[in-house]
Structure 1
Amino acid sequence: MSSAKSDQLLEILRDGGLTTLPAPVQLASGQWSRYFIDGKEALAAGADLRLAAEAISERVSDAGISFDAVGGLTLGADALAAAIALVSETNWFIVRKAPKGRGTDRRIEGARIGDGDHVLLVDDVVTTGGSILQAFDVVQATGAEVVAAVTLADRGDDAAREFAQRSVPYFPMATYHDLGIPRVGEEQAAATAG
């Protein structure tokens, strides 16, 4: 489903977040690519971040899904979670990559989530889904229900399969196809085959 805000968000991601590099770089997933997507840079302007939050909230709402808290794994989810919480008037939280090791030693900061909470998971860029799926496991362990997952850009197909297996609606705001880049792994396979 396309909307004016989703179309604007795609243009922001293409123009401000997608860089074609002269040589491949290793992504957080371990994959290599010449195409680097930086969701944080793309949404550095407050107006662009607000537009992304509104487009995401609209996409989830149009699917008939409601949530009381939004968050995901730091650092990719941080700005998105706060912005979506503002426009949707919900709570935000951030999942640490590891417990802090002091103080309260929590893995989840911000809103306390648990039984009865309906959570929207977010991330900026997904390649294989490792970060957003790690956040999913941490949230599930609290007793909260993940009602949907959203990413700004998805470079592959793995996360969609994983969320389908978990019966969780998954909404990439832009796919590799939308951005006009190869699916993760295709670029590397073509280079080694050639």
Structure 2
Amino acid sequence: MTPPAEFAQEHDQLLEVVRAKGYQRRDEAFQLASGEYSHDFIDAKAALSHGRDLTVACDLMLKLVAADGIEFDAVGGLTMGADHFSHGIALLGQKHWFVVRKAPKGRGTNQLIEGTAIGQGTRVLLVDDVVTTGGSILKAYDAVQATGAQIVAATTLVDRGDRASRDMQDRDVPYYPVITYSDLGIEPVGQGTSAA
């Protein structure tokens, strides 16, 4: 998905930030958290470690969703990839934030979802930083859906493949990747890439 023309300047600015501060091309293929292999490493946390760059990213995510008339009450996703976007979008959009743990804490409230309470009647925007096969955002989707909340859209900073887009489409969730593998000029991941 290409962002609408009115957002081209912010999109291009973020693309340059990711290329300059968060992208490395490696000679040897390495294994990603998804299990796939790639020569292209993307570190969105390093890329957006300055407040100025994170603000641009969160603002653009908000604008992409709003351009389609989508409204939401709470924003969040799987820790750690979603944390900075959850907080930044909540601040800019004056929304509630939450994070989904990878597993319940095992003590205290023993919750899987921390932050604002979500449930029936809550409209949720899912967020993530770098999506490869979509495993993290789907784990967050399942956790949020189990609360009874309505997932109205999902957005990511970088999508390295096509699988997450298809998975969100199958779930009738509008999906807004800010930067795609084609924007970065890299090969998509999740197409059966081997370590060779």
TM-score, normalised via structure 1 length: 0.95
Q: Distance in 2 between matches of 1:139 and 1:188?
A: 31
In structure 2, what is the equivalent of residue 164 of structure 1?
Answer: 169
Q: What amino acid is the match of 1:99? A: P
Report the equivalent of 2:22: 17
Question: Alpha-carbon deviation of 1:99?
Answer: 0.4
2:128–2:137 contact (8 Å) kept in structure 1: yes
Match of 2:133 among 128, 139, 142: 128
Q: What is the aligned-residue RMSD (CA, Å)?
A: 1.3
- Residue 144 (structure 1) aligned with residue 153 (structure 2): no
When residues 103 and 121 of structure 1 are mapped into structure 2, their CA distance, relative to the original with a 3 A threshold, is same
Aligned partner (choices 74, 92, 102) of residue 79 of structure 2:
74
Q: Which residue of 2 aligns with 1:104?
A: 109
CA pair 148-185 structure 1, distance change in 2 beyond 3 A: closer
Q: What secondary structure does 2:193 align onto? A: helix
The runs of at least 4 consecutive aligned structure 1 residues that moved more than 6 Å come to: none
Distance apart, 1:35 and its partner CA = 0.2
Distance 1:122 1:99 in 2: 20
1:188 Cα deviation from its structure 2 partner: 3.0
CA drift at 1:63: 1.2
TM superposition shift of 1:17 = 1.3
Identical pairs, percent: 55
Name the TM-score, length of structure 2 as normaliser: 0.94
Question: In 1, Cα distance between the equivalents of 2:51 and 2:27?
Answer: 30
- Supply the distance in 2 between the matched residues of 1:31 and 1:158 (Cα, whole angstroms): 12
In structure 1, give the amino acid aligned to 2:148.
G
| 2:48 matches 1:43 | yes
Ranges in structure 1 where 5+ consecutive residues have no aligned partner: none
Residue of 122, 130, 148 corresponding to 1:117: 122
Q: Does 2:196 match 1:177?
A: no
Does the CA contact (< 8 Å) of 2:125 and 2:154 recur in 1? Answer: yes
| Unaligned segments of structure 2, at least 5 residues | none
Equivalent residues, number: 191
